Structure 1
Amino acid sequence: MQYCCMVMRINIDCNGCYRKVRRALLDMQELESHLIEKKMCRVSVSGNFIPQDLAIKIRKKTNRRVEILEIHEFSSNNNNIIEGHQEQLLQDQRPQNQVMSSWNLISKQNPCATYVT
């Protein structure tokens, strides 16, 4: 298993569907974080898992159709995932007078946070 971020489409019609999906995600120990976008019917998850196996588990627990939209896999370097991203940031060679905004922090240091609503 390796660290992955995955975006899925799950039909969330009502609060009951939302609760069912949320409970299923909270019960899965391999997930580090999740984001449920109720209006767009999208669920983003990240953690150490195999994407297809996770989608099958969610399908079985919620009895809802699960469609995988995106998968981002990250290789771990000595079991330290962040280390690779920090090295990449240092190689960017950004000018010293550039102001670091919160948007830059989100987009560069957390590649999984592409869908924030």
Structure 2
Amino acid sequence: MYLDSLQFRKEVKLLVRNMFPKTEQYLLSNQILRATNSIVLNIAEGSDRSTDKDFANFLNKSHTSINEVVSCLDIALLDKYFTQDLHNKYLKSAEKLANQTAAFRRKLL
């Protein structure tokens, strides 16, 4: 899950770099990149917590950040920064990661 989150972050960063206009640099681009960082960082921080409940809380935060990334992707699609096919590709990656975090969270609780 952690490695998948790093890969997802890398892919989204490339998408932003190659497809988002420069006018979005401090707006949507920044927001989506911060959200992808949050996914990774919450998994890492949670893994070092002393209780399963604490770890589950951080996985919940990570899951929330995945939803934020999806919302940013939806906005970017609406603004025509990329195609529906590309959007679907990233949604599948996000869904896979969301399913992983949700399943692990359930296991912890």
**Shorter-chain TM-score above 0.5:** no
Q: TM-score, normalised by structure 1?
A: 0.30
More helix by percentage:
2
Which has the higher Rg, Structure 1 or Structure 2? 1
More strand by percentage:
1
